[in-house]
C-alpha cells in the first residue's frame, strides 16, 4: 500500500466493486446504472466513507494519491467525450423538425438566464474571492442548461422508446442541445482563462479556427485515409484506422488545451469528425466503450465524490441556497422544455415526458462542474450543491415518466 502503483490498483478495484454494486441496485429501482455509479462516487468520498471511517479513507485515498486518479479520470473522460462525439448524428440535427429546434433552444435559453439570475443573488456570499461575476454567472447558467445526452439515450432505449415519435424527438432535441451546450462552455472557459476581454476574443477566434480546421480540413483527410483501399486487408485497415483515430483524439485534445478551451472539447470534436463510411464509428465505439464506461468513468465518479463534501452544507442558509438551485434547475429545464413542447403542438403527456428527459443531467453535468471546480470558479460548497442537483434531477426522470404514463393510462381507462 506504500507503493503508488499498488495503492492505485487497490483504489481501482475498490472503486469498480462499489460502482458495480450501486449500479446494480440502481437498475433494481428502475434507474439508469449511471445514477448508482455517481452515488457510489459520493459514498466513497468524505460525505460518507470519510465521515464514518476517516482513518480508512486517509489510508485508501490519501491526498497525495489523488493526482493519479485525476489523470486516469481525465483519460476516461477524453475517451467518453470521443464516443459521445461519434454518436452525435449531425444529419439528424441538420434535418431536425421545427419542434426540435424550439424545444432544444428553450431548454438552453430559459435555464441559462435563470442560472445567471441566481448567480446575481448568491455571488457575494458564495463565489470564490478572486473570481469575477461574469465567469461565475456564465458557469452557473451553463450548469443549469446541460442535458446528459448519453443518459437520456440510455433511458429512451431501456424504456423501448427508440423509433417512437416521442423517443426520436427527445433524442433529436438532446443532440442539438448537446452541440449548443458544449459550444457555450468553450466560450466561457476561454473568457475565464484569458483574464481579459481581448484575450478571450483571441482565444475564441483561435477556437473557431480550430473547429473549422477540424471540420473542413482534418475530416475530409480522415475520410480519404480511413476508407478501405482495394489492396489492403481488413485487419491492417482496422489497425491503421484505430491508430489514426487515437492520434486525432490526442492531438485534438492537446490543441484544445493549448488554445485554452479544455481538452474535452477537442476530444468531443475529434469524435464528431470521424467518418461515417464502413461503420468506422461503430468499430471505434466497440473498442473504446467498455473500457471507458466500465473502468475509467467510475474512476471519474469516485474522483468527483472525493471532492464532494456534503458535510460543508452544515448551516440552514446553505440548504436554502441548494433549494434555490433545485428550483431554478428543474423550473428552467423541465418547465422550459415542457412549455416549449406544448407550444409546438405536443400533447401534455408527451410535453411532460420530453421535459423530464431533457431535465436529465447526469454525467455531462459532472464534467462541466469539474471544469469549473478545477478553474477555481466554484467553491467546494457550491460544487457539492451542484453535484447533489445533478443526482436529484437525473434520479427524478424515471419517476416523472412513470407518473405521466400512469396518469395517461388512468385517463384512457376512465374515458372507456
Q: Which residue has the cell 428543474?
A: 330
Provide the grid cell at 223: 475520410
Query: What pLDDT score was predicted for residue 20?
Result: 92
CATH of the domain at 295: 1.20.1530.20
Of the pLDDT bands very low, low, confident and very high (cuts 50, 70, 90), residue 203 is: confident
- Helices 149-158 and 348-358: crossing angle, nearest 10°? 130
Instruction: List pLDDT tens digits, range 309-326.
Output: 888 888 888 999 999 999
Instruction: List pLDDT tens digits, range 84-139.
Output: 778 766 666 555 556 777 888 888 899 999 999 999 999 999 999 888 898 899 88
Count of structural domains within the chain: 1
Do residues 370 and 396 make contact, with C-beta atoms less than 8 angstroms apart?
no
Using CA atoms, how far residue 386 sits from 71, 127, 249, 296, in Å, is 23, 13, 29, 22
Query: What pLDDT score was predicted for residue 230?
Result: 46
Angle 126-48-320 (CA atoms, 0-180°, nearest 5)? 30
Q: Is 41 exposed, middle or buried (0-12, 13-18, 19+ CB in 10 A)?
A: buried
Structural domain that includes position 19: 4-415
Instruction: List pLDDT tens digits, range 335-373.
Output: 999 999 998 888 899 899 999 999 988 777 888 898 889
Amino acid at each position: 500500500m506504500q507503493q503508488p502503483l499498488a495503492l492505485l490498483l487497490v483504489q481501482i478495484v475498490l472503486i469498480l466493486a462499489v460502482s458495480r454494486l450501486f449500479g446494480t441496485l440502481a437498475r433494481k429501482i428502475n434507474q439508469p446504472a449511471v445514477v448508482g455509479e455517481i452515488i457510489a462516487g459520493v459514498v466513497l468520498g468524505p460525505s460518507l466513507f470519510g465521515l464514518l471511517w476517516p482513518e480508512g479513507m486517509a489510508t485508501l485515498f490519501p491526498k497525495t494519491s489523488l493526482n493519479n486518479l485525476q489523470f486516469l479520470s481525465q483519460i476516461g473522460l477524453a475517451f467518453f467525450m470521443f464516443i459521445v462525439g461519434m454518436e452525435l448524428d449531425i444529419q439528424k440535427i441538420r434535418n431536425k423538425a421545427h419542434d426540435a429546434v424550439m424545444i432544444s433552444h428553450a431548454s438552453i435559453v430559459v435555464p441559462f438566464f435563470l442560472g445567471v439570475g441566481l448567480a446575481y443573488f448568491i455571488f457575494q456570499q458564495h463565489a470564490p474571492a478572486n473570481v469575477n461575476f461574469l465567469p461565475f454567472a456564465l458557469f452557473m447558467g451553463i450548469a443549469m442548461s446541460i442535458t446528459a445526452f448519453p443518459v437520456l439515450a440510455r433511458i429512451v432505449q431501456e424504456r423501448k422508446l427508440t423509433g417512437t415519435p416521442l423517443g426520436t424527438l427527445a433524442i433529436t432535441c438532446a443532440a442539438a442541445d448537446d452541440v449548443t451546450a458544449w459550444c457555450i462552455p468553450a466560450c466561457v472557459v476561454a473568457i475565464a482563462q484569458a483574464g481579459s476581454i481581448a484575450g478571450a476574443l483571441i482565444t475564441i477566434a483561435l477556437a473557431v479556427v480550430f473547429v473549422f480546421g477540424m471540420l473542413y480540413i482534418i475530416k475530409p483527410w480522415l475520410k480519404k485515409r480511413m476508407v478501405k483501399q482495394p489492396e489492403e486487408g481488413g485487419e491492417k485497415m482496422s489497425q491503421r484506422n484505430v491508430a489514426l483515430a487515437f492520434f486525432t483524439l490526442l492531438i485534438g485534445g492537446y490543441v484544445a488545451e493549448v488554445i485554452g478551451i479544455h481538452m474535452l472539447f477537442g476530444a468531443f470534436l475529434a469524435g464528431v469528425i470521424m467518418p461515417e463510411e464502413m461503420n468506422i464509428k461503430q468499430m471505434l465505439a466497440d473498442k473504446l466503450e467498455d473500457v471507458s464506461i466500465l473502468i475509467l468513468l467510475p474512476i471519474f465518479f469516485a474522483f468527483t465524490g472525493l471532492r464532494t463534501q456534503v458535510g460543508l452544507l452544515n448551516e440552514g442558509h446553505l440548504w436554502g441556497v441548494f433549494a434555490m438551485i433545485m428550483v431554478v434547475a428543474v423550473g428552467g429545464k423541465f418547465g422550459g422544455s415542457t412549455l416549449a413542447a406544448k407550444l409546438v403542438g405536443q400533447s401534455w403527456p408527451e410535453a411532460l415526458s420530453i421535459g423530464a428527459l431533457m431535465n436529465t443531467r447526469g454525467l455531462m453535468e459532472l464534467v462541466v462542474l469539474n471544469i469549473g471546480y478545477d478553474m477555481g470558479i466554484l467553491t467546494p460548497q457550491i460544487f457539492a450543491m451542484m453535484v447533489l442537483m445533478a443526482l436529484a434531477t437525473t434520479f427524478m426522470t424515471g419517476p416523472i415518466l412513470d407518473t405521466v404514463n400512469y396518469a395517461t393510462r388512468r385517463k384512457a381507462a376512465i374515458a372507456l
